[in-house]
Structure 1
Amino acid sequence: MAMDPAAFAYSAFGGSPLFNPMMFVNLSGTCATTKLLQCRSLGPHQIDISRKFERGPEGAADLYEEDFYARKHVVDQVAEWVSTTQGSTSDGVRHEWVPILYHYEIARSAAKRDRDWGNIVFTDLRTTRFLLVMCFGPPRCNMYDHYYDDLMKYHADRFMSLVTYLYHYGSKPEWVRATYTTFASKDLPDVFMDPKSTVTGTIRDPPIFHVTADNFVPSLLPSELERVDNLIAQSNMDKQPPPGLRQKVLGTKDTRPKPDALLRGTGRTQIQCAFCDKLGDQKMPMCSRCKLVRYCDAQCQKSAWKAHKPVCKVAASNAAKA
Structure 2
Amino acid sequence: MAMDPAAFAHSALGGLPYFDPMMFINVSGLCATTKLLQCRDFGIYQVDVSRKFQRGPDGAPDMHEDDFYARKRVIDQVADWTESMAGKKRPGSLDEWTPILYHFEIARSAAKRARDWGHIVFTDPTTTRFLIVMCFGQPQCNCGNPFHDDYDNLTKYQADRFMSLLTYLYHDGNKPKWVRATYTTLANKDLPVSFIDPLAEQPAKSSPPVFHVTAENFVPSLLPAEIEKIDNLLAQRRSVKMPPAELRQKVQGTKSDRPKAEAWLGGQQKNGVQCAFCDKVGDAKMPACSRCKLVRYCNATCQKAAWKSHKPICKAASSVSTSK
Which interval holds the TM-score relative to the shorter structure? Answer: 0.7 to 0.9
Q: Which residue of 1 aligns with 2:198?
A: 195
Root-mean-square deviation (CA, aligned residues, Å) is 2.3
Contact 1:164–1:213 (CA under 8 A) maintained in structure 2:
yes
Contact 2:94–2:198 (CA under 8 A) maintained in structure 1:
no
Q: Which residue of 2 aligns with 1:157?
A: 160
Q: Which residue of 2 aligns with 1:310?
A: none
Cα–Cα, structure 1 residues 154 and 2, in superposed 2: closer, same or farther, change >3 Å? Answer: closer
Instruction: Name the CA distance, whole Å, in 2 between partners of 1:209 and 1:93.
Output: 20
Q: Which residue of 2 aligns with 1:26?
A: 26
Q: Greater shift after overlay, 237-246 or 60-69? A: 237-246
Q: Which residue of 1 aligns with 2:50?
A: 50
Q: Which residue of 2 aligns with 1:279?
A: none
* CA offsets 1:157-191 (integer angstroms, 9 cap, x no match): 00000000000011100000000011232111111
Unaligned runs of 5+ in 2: 271-324
* CA offsets 1:257-281 (integer angstroms, 9 cap, x no match): 3444257426569xxxxxxxxxxxx
Q: Which has the higher contact order (CA 8 A, sep 6+)?
A: 1
The AA in structure 2 aligned to 1:163 is: L
Q: Which residue of 2 aligns with 1:251?
A: 253
Instruction: Name the CA distance, whole Å, in 2 between partners of 1:8 and 1:227.
Output: 20
Give the TM-score taking structure 2 as reference length: 0.76
Instruction: Name the CA distance, whole Å, in 2 between partners of 1:154 and 1:137.
Output: 18
Instruction: Name the CA distance, whole Å, in 1 between partners of 2:88 and 2:239.
Output: 34
Contact 2:119–2:133 (CA under 8 A) maintained in structure 1:
yes
Q: Greater shift after overlay, 100-109 or 79-88? A: 79-88
Instruction: Name the CA distance, whole Å, in 2 between partners of 1:213 and 1:25.
Output: 28
3-state SS, counterpart of residue 176 of structure 1: strand
Instruction: Name the CA distance, whole Å, in 1 between partners of 2:269 and 2:227.
Output: 21
The AA in structure 2 aligned to 1:188 is: L
| Percent of pairs with identical residues | 63
Instruction: Name the CA distance, whole Å, in 1 between partners of 2:128 and 2:115.
Output: 25
The AA in structure 1 aligned to 2:237 is: S
3-state SS, counterpart of residue 261 of structure 2: helix
Instruction: Name the CA distance, whole Å, in 2 between partners of 1:150 and 1:89.
Output: 37
Q: How many residues in Structure 1 have an aligned counterpart in Structure 2? A: 266
Q: Deviation of residue 251 (structure 1)?
A: 3.2
Unaligned runs of 5+ in 1: 270-322
Contact 2:180–2:195 (CA under 8 A) maintained in structure 1:
yes
Instruction: Name the CA distance, whole Å, in 2 between partners of 1:207 and 1:226.
Output: 33
The AA in structure 1 aligned to 2:240 is: D
Contact 1:120–1:132 (CA under 8 A) maintained in structure 2:
yes
Q: Which residue of 2 aligns with 1:69?
A: 69
Q: Which residue of 2 aligns with 1:113?
A: 113
Q: Which residue of 2 aligns with 1:84?
A: 84
3-state SS, counterpart of residue 244 of structure 1: helix
Contact 2:222–2:254 (CA under 8 A) maintained in structure 1:
no
Give the TM-score taking structure 1 as reference length: 0.76
Q: Deviation of residue 4 (structure 1)?
A: 7.6
